[in-house]
């Protein structure tokens, strides 16, 4: 057995990033006559990295998917086959429909304009080229190099995020700035730096920071090229498969706080029959010679402050908002029940004529006589998967308020300590802080002597 290492931490060699070794190797085999550095971001700048598709996922779930805990940007599967099939240029692939690709043609996955800039930079002998991304090197390095190979992109360096265990980077931006500073130190003849970035906030921060460097005389020219984000979504069926796998893996890691999902209604529209459109035109005095809309008119279900409302849009020239008093299925098909306690409808505006000056500014508050109106159409629902909303019984109790009701003299730090003690007591008794357990929690609050406990502590 080897003896324990009792050496002074100050004598330990400094932490060396893997990309620093790459930089040393790159410069050892080449001349140092580089006058320019060009740095390309990867995600949604050079590469159309897939994101959670809003056609499938409610924003409540999309946010969780992209968190480090669930791992859309921390799991190599999100850039790997069969979800991202990118095998180089082919001529026998049929372009896929927008928003759902299962094509293996690499051209679908790379942003053409940024790809051209990268190739031009790589071909310039006086330019040192870098791909710089905040993705973790330990997870994504091999796959990203593989993707670049499909386009024969040979950057001088491919840098992915690493962390010094004793001093981790707090943000991707701090990591990238540190990389740029190290590059400039290693390339003393460089006087021009250009960086491509898709995120507006990052682009603005980089531009301000590089301007400071230029003002100090280190660079003659410094520019940030802000790129409109490029996204290429996965095939819908494959994305569903991947997301369910990510959620299952997360729940296996955190069984006490699983990510629970439910189907959420994103939007609903009622495609009106021609007879119903004619009826509405007659009711609202649309001229008889006005043509019916070329596309089916929609009654779009919208949540309004007072009720569930239906909004008719026909060619965008008439906009009639109706409140439904009841909705029912036709031919036994299930539908959404729309009810209101205020049976009336509003006319927002009619044709191209401006609203009369006498009408109030709040055009949604124009009551009219209640009208019986039977309209027919096909109801179409678009649902997405979202994070399950807690029921009223699952919501936590306002324990601070409950303590004050029983012990009104507690406030400030004493109240904070009482809340901590109550939480510990509930945990010890196996009582969850949820509304369904309100009576049990109240009994614990009444039984505990918080004031004496605070005096003793």
* Cα–Cα nearest to 368, from 383, 354, 347: 347
Q: Distance of CA 44 to CAs 39, 112, 227, 230, 242, Å?
A: 14, 12, 9, 4, 20
pLDDT given at position 414: 84
pLDDT given at position 197: 97
Beta bridge partners of 299: 270, 312
Domain with CATH 3.40.50 in the chain: 17-226
- Listed as ranges, residues in the chain with pLDDT below 50 are 1-4, 6-7, 9, 90-102, 293-370
pLDDT given at position 389: 81
pLDDT given at position 99: 41
pLDDT given at position 412: 84
Note if the bond before 334 is cis, omega within 30 degrees: no
Q: Report yes or no: 96 and 108 within 8 Å, Cβ to Cβ.
A: yes
pLDDT given at position 383: 82
Domain 17-226 has CATH 3.40.50: yes
pLDDT given at position 113: 96
pLDDT given at position 286: 56
């Amino acid at each position: 057995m080897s003896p324990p290492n009792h050496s002074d931490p100050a004598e330990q060699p400094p932490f060396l990033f893997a990309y620093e070794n790459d930089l040393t190797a790159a410069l050892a085999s080449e001349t140092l006559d580089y006058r320019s550095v060009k740095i390309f971001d990867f995600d949604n700048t050079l590469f159309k990295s897939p994101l959670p598709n809003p056609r499938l996922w409610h924003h409540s779930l999309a946010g969780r998917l992209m968190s480090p805990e669930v791992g859309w940007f921390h799991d190599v599967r999100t850039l790997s086959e069969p979800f991202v099939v990118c095998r180089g240029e082919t001529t026998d692939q049929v372009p896929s429909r927008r928003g759902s690709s299962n094509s293996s043609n690499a051209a679908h996955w790379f942003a053409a304009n940024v790809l051209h800039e990268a190739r031009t930079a790589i071909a310039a002998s006086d330019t040192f080229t870098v791909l710089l991304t905040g993705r973790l090197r330990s997870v994504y390095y091999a796959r990203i190099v593989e993707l670049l190979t499909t386009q024969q992109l040979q950057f001088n360096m491919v840098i992915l995020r690493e962390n010094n265990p004793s001093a981790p980077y707090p943000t991707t931006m701090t990591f990238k700035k540190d990389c740029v500073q190290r590059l400039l130190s290693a390339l003393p003849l460089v006087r021009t730096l250009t960086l491509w970035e898709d995120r507006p906030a990052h682009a603005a921060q980089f531009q301000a920071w590089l301007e400071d460097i230029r003002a100090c005389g280190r660079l003659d020219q410094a520019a940030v090229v802000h790129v409109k984000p490029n996204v290429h979504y996965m095939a819908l069926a494959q994305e569903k498969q991947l997301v369910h796998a990510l959620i299952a893996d997360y729940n296996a890691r955190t069984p006490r706080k699983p990510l629970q999902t439910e189907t959420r209604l994103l939007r609903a529209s009622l495609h009106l029959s021609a007879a119903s459109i004619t009826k509405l035109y007659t009711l609202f005095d649309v001229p008889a010679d006005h043509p019916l809309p070329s596309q089916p008119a929609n009654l779009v279900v919208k949540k309004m402050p007072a009720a569930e409302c239906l909004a008719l849009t026909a060619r965008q020239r008439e906009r009639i908002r109706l409140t439904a008093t009841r909705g029912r299925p036709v031919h036994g098909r299930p539908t959404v029940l729309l009810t209101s306690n205020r049976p009336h409808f509003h006319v927002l505006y009619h044709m191209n004529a401006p609203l009369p000056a006498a009408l109030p500014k709040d055009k949604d508050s124009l009551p009219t006589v209640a009208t019986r109106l039977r309209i027919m159409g096909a109801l179409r629902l678009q649902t997405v998967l979202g994070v399950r909303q807690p029921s009223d019984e699952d919501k936590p109790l306002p324990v601070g308020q409950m303590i004050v009701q029983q012990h009104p003299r507690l406030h400030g730090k004493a109240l904070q300590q009482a809340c901590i003690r109550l939480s510990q007591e509930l945990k010890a008794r196996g009582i969850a802080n949820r509304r369904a357990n309100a009576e049990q929690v109240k009994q614990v609050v009444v039984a505990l002597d918080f004031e004496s406990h605070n005096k003793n502590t």
